[in-house]
Amino acid sequence: MSRNGILVDYQYCTGCYSCEIACQSEHDLYLGQWGVKVIENGPWPIKDKDGNETDQYVYDFLPSFTKVCDLCADRTAKGKLPSCVHHCQASCLKYGPVSELVADLEAKPWQYLIVPPRG
Amino acid sequence: MEITDQNNNGQVGPVQVLSDIYGGLLPQRTDVTLDSRPIQWEEDGYTVIRGHARSAPGCHNACGVLQYVKDGKLVKVEGDPENPYNQGRLCSRCLAMTDVVYHKDRLMQPMKRDRADRGRDKFVEISWDEAYDIIEREFKRISATYGPETIMMCQGTGRDIHQVTRLNACLGSPNEGVPYFAGNSCYLPRIASMACMLGDAAVMDCSQFLPLRYDDPRYVVPELCIVWGHNPFYSNADGFYGHWFTDLMQRGMKVAVIDPQLTWIAARAGENWLRVRPGSDGALAMAMLKIIIEEDLYDHEFCDYWVYGLEQVAERCKEYDLEELAERCWVPLEDIQRVARLYAQAKPAAIQWGVALDQQTGGQQAAHAVTALWTITGNLDVPGGNVIGRPCWGIAQPNWTGTWGYDDLLSPEEEPGKRMGADRYPLFGVGFKNLSSNATFESWEHEEGTPSGSDGFYGPYKFKAAYFVTNNFTACMGAQTKMQMERWYREQLEFIVWSDIFMNPSMYALADLVLPVSTWAERIGFGGLNPYSISCINPSIEPVGNTRPDQTIFMDLGKRVTREGVIPFTQGGEGEVDLDLIERLEKKYGIKVDTSRGVHYKDIAYPWDTVEQMWDFALQDGGFTWKELQNSVWRYPDFQYRKYETGGLRADGQVGFETPSGRAEIYSLVFQYASEHAPEDCKLDPLPAYVEPRESPYSDPELAKQFPLILTTGARIPHFFHSEHRQIAKLRALHPDPLVYIHPDTAAAYDIHEGEWIWIWNDHGKCYYKTSFNDTYDPRVLQCEHAWWFPERGPADPEDEAGPFGVFESNCNNLVPLPAGVSGFGANYKAMVCQIGKTEPAVSNVPDKPIVK
């Protein structure tokens, strides 16, 4: 059986945190437990080699999937998407077989592929 | 629908023009798009019910939802993937909806409290019948003693409670609005400018008018969008779903961003992020306008055919110096030039703006300049530009703009005759039927019993009673709210009724009567707060506890409090009877009128037995019933671009715009006409201009020496709708504390470490926030989050300075000056001078005498 994963296009993750709450609600997790947690990086200006601030900035949000994530096995068995993917407001999460997502990963920068251990 | 506006007496001019904006449109019943899929099904032991999220709790959107129900309980809410609006997506607030519906602190039973005990823990649970009896008794007493106009309906933002306007109308009061919100500083300044200039309001086109969305062949992705004072992903304001932006960026749209804050989207704009000084957006807009006109970058053909006033605007621009404008807004001139040129040359290009434009002294004038930008570049009503939206089938008053029933239940002597501020500020007089907040401020300070203006304050009367429909103004909206609460609302109102889903600090401080209301999952209704579609609010569960939907309450109360008597202008008698009007009312309400008797208020105020019948009436211009809407979930009327070319905008069917000149007026004849009879200090400029904020480093340099920093506010948090959701543990965990964002260099100068709590103050008041360092702000600027209170701290007696639930403590609105701009719109919520420090300053949040103008 092929492994499944989630491809994150973090060029477009806006930090809305829908994935976190979708997961907590779907799996009825205790407060302080996450299947996916969004990590904030920035905002900060990129400095040039002389230490001067440029007009380019880093402000990224990185959904980080945990051991709790089972890629919503109950949902996917019924042909539904994992709840985080279904509700992702920026449409920047894609679920599928790793072999297919790797091709997508190749096609565009600013992405990463997550394969949770229970997926 | 026939164009009938009894309030303008048939007169042609600005009144006519503006009254047509939200009504009087020919229904477009052709080519309606329906959703034909099932509205309900069984799935794994759940019943799944499709519908839309609206309010309560608050939201400006109408996202499609799937409600999963088991054993009569709402178990979870998912996004409806086949809804064109949100396309399956949902934000954290809807995803935590069951935590709201079944929260232990939800209000479940009506309560009363003696007026003498306002602010104290003395609420007593009562029945709905007793609650209604008290309201009926008090509204009737106050109406008889002081006049019905002294009873006002107060709202928060964007709730689906605009039907309450019918309730104040049936009493005989034209007063509904946000009387604590200085300058009515949310969307009205922008709406007013657009409506006067264009005859309509425009919004960025993200294909939201088209049910096929991005796949509709008519749609064009904008090459560029300027995001102006707006963080769409976190605010989702005014029926605009923020993540349409990521959809368009993924389809190739570039962005430029004008914001003091490096938002996520500003980081994507890179060099085209213009870090404007808070409150100086008008300077930036005037500079862009000047560049586009003087570099000949505007759309000549569009201007020749469709624009009025280009020469006058060009003359006005000559009065400004680009270097000075750039210096004023703290943006390098070369950056302004680059963005102005990019915008003018991109086809199509859009501007999507936010509430920041409204929350400054010159907000209305800035909005005028921005509207001129998209007009002269030919981006008006074209695919991918800024398109004119009109209420679907003309249905707007009950679900969107309010004033429902005003046309039929209020005479011209009452509306606008008795509306607070309509005769003070021309823009409130000609088109926008909210009460004016700043006129209200003056009325509180006016000496009762003396003629209006005799002591320098406008004051035809004072308000005596209020019905707050799901509002929390001491946390949000209110400026200097502790003063307002103590000096005005607590002392001067004789009766206060309040509805909401949770006890909030404003309600705790003031309510004599508390009404617990149902959420959107527990009631029927229709949305939305937008001109794209009509959507069904479809209940999945019975009202929780002993709650009732707001709309049920309005109808129940309306049947009790509607005034007695015959509507004067429908009464039989010599020369009095208006047969056309009677015929219209007969048709509209399905009644038969004895013309010798006339129409009684009670004949038409609430002639329905059920809320569903009320909605059938409200939807009749669409040609469908509520049940038919429920079965189709949503309905989109046909949408057309370039309506000015086809006669789609004008009541007379001619091409052009619904303005006095028939053109898009960047020189506004409506502003000119409306000002002719206005008080000297309220005259409007028919041309765009830059107006410096009050109390700024430029308008008051001496004050700025004492308060050298600029405080902007309102940085949005995606998990909370303004002051709501603070008690939802799952959401609060994501953002536990009120933050002020500060540049680390500024913090270092004050010996402040990251995470330390600091005081921020000016002459008007002080507030207390936790610091979060951010080196992308201008070091002279700080930004506070707004609308904080702390449910976990519990209520407090009136003697506690922090107020109930600590509402006055981390409250940046304590610093907001009350006066508005000349239009009556725009107060400096986002541009205040301030000082900071680690020790509590000796500043009171309750001044001895408020400065109201």
CA–CA gap between residue B447 and residue B453 (Å, rounded): 9
Q: Do the domain assignments include residue A71?
A: yes
Structural domain includes residue A36: yes
Nearest-CA distance B247 → chain A (Å)? 7
Question: Is residue B561 located within the same domain as residue B577?
Answer: no
B-chain residue closest to A55, CA distance: B271
Residues of chain B with pLDDT below 70 are: 1-31, 431, 571-576
The verdict on residue B193 lying in a domain is no
So what's the pLDDT on residue B573?
55
The span from the CA of B49 to the CA of B68, in Å, is 7
- Please say whether the beta carbons of B65 and B52 come within 8 A: yes
Contact A56 B270 (CB under 8 A): yes
Nearest CB partner across the interface for B267, out of A17, A59, A86: A59
Q: What domain range is A42 assigned to?
A: 4-114
Contact A21 B729 (CB under 8 A): no
- B572: buried, middle or exposed (CB in 10 Å: 19+, 13-18, 0-12)? middle
Q: Count up the domains in chain B and report the number.
A: 4
Asked if the C-beta of B264 comes within 8 angstroms of chain A's C-beta atoms, the answer is yes
What residues does B349 pair with on adjacent strands? Answer: B224
Whether B729 sits inside 8 A of A31 (CB atoms) is yes
CB < 8 Å to A15, chain B: 233, 264, 718
- The strand ranges marked E within B659-792 are 664-665, 709-713, 739-742, 757-761, 766-773, 781-784
Task: Please tell me whether residues B590 and B668 are part of one structural domain.
Answer: no
Q: Does any domain span residue B344?
A: yes
Instruction: Confirm or reject contact between B75 and chain A (CB < 8 A).
Output: no
- B253 contacts B232 by C-beta, under 8 angstroms: no
Residue A119 lies in a domain: no
Same domain membership, residue B160 and residue B64: yes
**Residue A87: which of B89, B242, B249 has the nearest Cβ?**
B89
- B272: closest CA of chain A, how far (Å): 8
User: Tokens 């015959």 correspond to what residue?
Assistant: B566
Quote the CA–CA distance of B532 and B534 in Å, as a whole number: 7
Q: State the smallest CA–CA distance between residue A40 and chain B in angstroms.
A: 11
Optimal mutation site among A20, A25, A26, interface B, most CBs of chain B within 10 A: A25
Q: Which of B90, B247, B273 sits opposite A18 (nearest CB)?
A: B90
B245 → chain A, closest CA residue = A90
Pair of tokens at residue B453: 């203006």
Same domain, B152 and B99: yes
d(CA B281, CA B289): 12
Local structure of B790: helix, strand or coil: coil
**What secondary structure letter does DSSP report for B659?**
S
Mutation site, A16, A31, A62, interface B, largest B CB count within 10 A: A16
Residue B526 lies in a domain: yes
B8 and B105 together in one domain: yes
- Whether B228 contacts B354, CB under 8 Å: yes
* Phi and psi torsions of B556, nearest 5°: -60, -45
Cα(B657)–Cα(B652) distance, integer angstroms: 11
Q: Do B92 and A83 touch (CB under 8 A)?
A: no
B92 and A16 within 8 Å at the Cβ level: the answer is yes
Query: What are the angstrom distances between the C-alpha of A89 and each of A112, B273, B414?
Result: 18, 23, 46
Q: Which of B95, B234, B265 sits opposite A87 (nearest CB)?
A: B95
Q: Which of B778, B619, B784 has the alpha carbon at shortest distance from B29?
A: B619
| Total CB pairs under 8 A between chain A and B | 103
Whether B843 is in a domain gets the answer no
Q: For residue range A27-57, what is the model confidence (pLDDT) as tens digits?
A: 999 999 999 999 999 999 999 999 999 999 9
Count of domains observed in chain A:
1
Q: Which CATH number goes with the domain that contains A40?
A: 3.30.70.20
CB of B321 within 8 Å of a chain A CB? The answer is no
Please list every residue in chain B whose beta carbon sits closer than 8 Å to the beta carbon of residue A16.
Answer: 91-92, 233-234, 243, 718
B633 with B765, same domain?
A: no
CATH number of residue B773's parent domain: 2.40.40.20
Shortest distance between the Cα of B789 and any Cα of chain A, in A, equals: 21
Q: Is B76 within 8 Å of chain A by CB? A: yes
Q: Which residues of A touch B90 (CB under 8 A)?
A: 18, 22, 87, 89
B247 touches chain A (CB under 8 A): yes
pLDDT at res. B14: 34
Element (H or E) spanning B617, and its range? helix B611-618
Q: Which two tokens stand for residue B350?
A: 């859009």
For residues B50 and B17, membership in a common domain is answered with: yes
Are B513 and B131 contacting, i.e. CB atoms less than 8 angstroms apart?
yes
Q: Is A14 on the interface with B (CB under 8 A)?
A: yes
Asked, for residue B464, whether it belongs to a domain, the answer is: yes
Burial call B277-295: b when 16+ CB within 10 Å, e when fewer:
bbbbbbbbbbbbbbbbbee
Q: How many residues does chain B have?
A: 853
Cα distance between residue B286 and residue B293, in whole Å: 11
pLDDT for the residue B756: 98
**In a domain? residue A32:** yes
Residue of A nearest to B81 (CA): A86
Asked if the Cβ–Cβ distance from A43 to B776 is below 8 Å, we say: yes
Same domain, yes or no, for B372 and B408? no
Judge whether B343 and B288 are in contact, CB under 8 Å. yes
Same domain, yes or no: B299 and B245: yes
Whole-number Å distance between alpha carbons of B277 and B260: 6
Q: Are residues B481 and B579 in the same domain?
A: no
**pLDDT of B621-662, one tens digit each?**
999 999 999 999 999 999 999 999 999 999 999 999 999 999
Task: Look up the CATH number of the domain holding residue B340.
Answer: 3.40.228.10
pTM to 2 decimal places: 0.95
Provide the sign of the torsion angle of the four alpha carbons B803, B805, B807, B808, taken in this order: positive
B620 located within any domain? yes
Strand-pair category, B781-784 with B739-742:
antiparallel
Cα–Cα distance for residue pair B700/B519, rounded to 1 Å: 47
Residue range(s) defining the domain that contains residue B293:
201-389
| CA gap B833, B765 in Å, rounded | 11
Do B740 and B595 belong to one domain?
no
B627 lies in the same domain as B559: yes
B576 lies in a domain?
yes
Chain-wide mean pLDDT for chain A? 96
